[in-house]
A and B are shown apart, each in its own frame.
Chain A
Amino acid sequence: MNKSNSVTRLNIQRIGYIILTILAFLTVTPIVLVLFFILKQGLPAISLEFITGFPFDGMRSGGILPAIIGTIYLTIGTAIFAVPLGIGAAIYLSEYAADNKWTRLIRIAIINLAGIPSVVYGLFGLGLFVIFLRFGTSILAGSLTLAIMTIPVIITTAEEALRAVPQSFRIVSISLGATHWQTIKRIVLPEALPGILTGVILGLERAAGETAPILFTVAAFFLPRLPTSPLDATMALPYHLFVISTQVPGMPIKIQYGTALVLIFFVLSMNIIAAAIRSRARARRQW
């Protein structure tokens, strides 16, 4: 092993490290660029009137309140259906299910659900909720569709959070005379809650930003008033952005960026909240 050999190897390493660092940098650039552009062009559009006002002149001026409210309603609706089902299934998989072929089938189903393209969810929602169950294009149909799309995300993160709770806690609880469910309710769930919450928020964040599932199930372009019942159609931020950037001639660029900014703000603040919950829980954990 002569000296020039090791010098060569170190040089290769140096070059390799530079390449890797560049690649990592390339990952960071898109996000930074996106945020930069949208902030720069979108901030001028933001005003109280923009956020609380209604659109007029074919969307070309005014505010986007209905879209904001619509997205909020859809997110809440998704949560109502997805959270109980998702957490329940996670509890089943983590605390009750035996390791047999039925459980494996459930896991395959979850993996499958997680991978289905969002537009296929839109078709499904159209077929089942809008047409077959006659909910029509409605918040109800959209929420149910988004909920089924969100459930696998919640299950995966919630199950991981539940499994992270040390098994010794369960054994001690049972040895003190607690039943299975008492143990889950009093010890396991509270300890897993931050992790579960993080997963729920990240799942809802995705649902809030999706367009394809709501294309045929809930979204309307121009609604002069706010929705008053779950069976109403509604505007929504992602769909609104899509339409004003592709289908409305003469759309002021400022408003397009402004809408994008509001959407990103909504989504990213959920991201930050979830991350904050996660790190605070990690610090306060008693195990």
Chain B
Amino acid sequence: MILGLCPSSLVLPHKHMKISNNQIEYVITRIIKATGYSVILFVALIFYFLVSEGIVTLGEVPLPKLFGTRWYPIEGYFGILPLIGGSIIVTVGAMIVAVPVGLGTAIYISEISPRWAREILKPLVEMLGGLPSVVLGFLGILILAPYLRNLLNLPTGLTALAGSILLGGIALPTIISISEDALDAVPRSYRDASLALGATQWQTIWHVTLPAARSGVLTAIMLGIGRAIGETMTVMMVTGNAPVLPTGLRYLFLPVRTMTATIAAEMGEVAKGSVHYHVLFFIGIVLFLISLVINVSASAIVFRTRKRSERILS
């Protein structure tokens, strides 16, 4: 009971327990390290399985045909350009909606809004981010598409435009939260200095705060684009599923088909091992690479700028 003042007498009640504790700790540490590295394994696995089923396409379908403008698998036309075009036009449309609204909302939340408005807005934005895309697609079919058809006198409301509007809504939470973080990160002293020089708050936002946050905003937009291009269910349900190559903005008012919708819609009907099957996996590779480029470069922006600001402030 008495531990005494003699040093070596801080003896553990069970001497052998110390040894097995060390062993347990060693095992736990290695398990934790393994889970950390497992992420790399998963990415590699995903890439491997996409490639193993998809790269065959390059042998089965000659390249000019693959990048041709006709997608009609039943008759052997596997041109994926219309699908890529469909994804692009829907995404562009989504960004036209989401960037002004998203950035404006972020500025509002971060710079102008009173506290009570912020407390309402932020949870609502988070809720928007949590809405399942299939629900938005569902409402798109039942409400948005007919509305657009009536409003714009179109043959059908299932168009790229419907997809863009919904996709814009889906990309909004991403753009808002990252932009808001970027704006919050701008040091108070910048704003204070500008106001002290006699600028209005508005001028401060446009000439000081926003430029200071521009790399964060750029990241937000890029990640929003990534989110939009990768979206599947919403576009599958409302964009009309017509694989036509969009060559101009007027195609916004016509049905299109995105890469993601193609995979989702046609995978259920293909025979395993057929050319069609392989081409769908190939489209998966394209999507994987696009998202890789967008996301990695978006985060590279963040890393670079953080280092720069660290240099300045220290």
Contact = CB atoms under 8 A, between A and B. Distances in A.
B162 interface: no
For this complex, into which size category does the number of interface residues on chain A fall?
A: 35 or more
Given A117-B231, A241-B138, 18 more contacts: A10-B200, A13-B203, A17-B112, A27-B102, A27-B121, A31-B131, A32-B124, A38-B139, A115-B223, A116-B291, A117-B229, A120-B230, A122-B267, A123-B50, A132-B49, A180-B25, A242-B134, A242-B138
A85 to B, nearest CB: 5
Interface in B86-126: 100-102, 104-105, 107-109, 112-113, 117, 121, 123-126
B233 A256 contact: no
A267 B267 contact: no
A21 interface: yes
Interface in A80-111: 84-85, 88-89, 91-93, 96-97, 102, 105-106, 108-111
8 contacts: A13-B200, A26-B105, A88-B34, A109-B39, A112-B296, A206-B130, A210-B132, A267-B131
Contacts of A222: none
A172 interface: no
Contact of A92 (B35, B52, B125, B232): B35
Contact of B232 (A9, A27, A117): A117
A34 B42 contact: no
Given A31-B128, A263-B135, A216 B267 contact: yes
B6 interface: no
A215 interface: yes
Interface in A252-267: 253, 256, 260, 263-264, 267
A151 interface: yes
B interface: dominant SS:
helix
B31 interface: yes
Contacts of A120: 46, 50, 230, 263, 284, 287-288, 291
A211 interface: yes
A124 B50 contact: yes
B283 to A, nearest CB: 9
Interface string A10-23: 10110011011111
A250 interface: no
Of listed B49, B128, B132, residue having the most chain A CB within 10 A? B132
Interface of A: 1, 9-10, 12-13, 16-17, 19-24, 26-28, 30-32, 34, 37-38, 84-85, 88-89, 91-93, 96-97, 102, 105-106, 108-124, 126-128, 131-132, 148, 151-152, 155, 179-182, 202, 205-206, 208-212, 215-216, 238-239, 241-242, 245-246, 253, 256, 260, 263-264, 267-268, 270-271, 275
Contacts of A113: 39, 42-43, 46
A157 B272 CA distance: 38
A24 B124 CA distance: 11
Given A23-B100, A241-B134, A242-B237, A112 B126 contact: no
Contacts of B108: 20-21, 23-24
A119 B263 contact: yes
Of listed B101, B223, B272, residue having the most chain A CB within 10 A? B101
B109 A119 contact: no
A239 B264 CA distance: 12
Contact of B136 (A22, A34, A85, A208): A34
B161 interface: no
Given A106-B40, A119-B260, A209-B133, A24 B268 contact: no
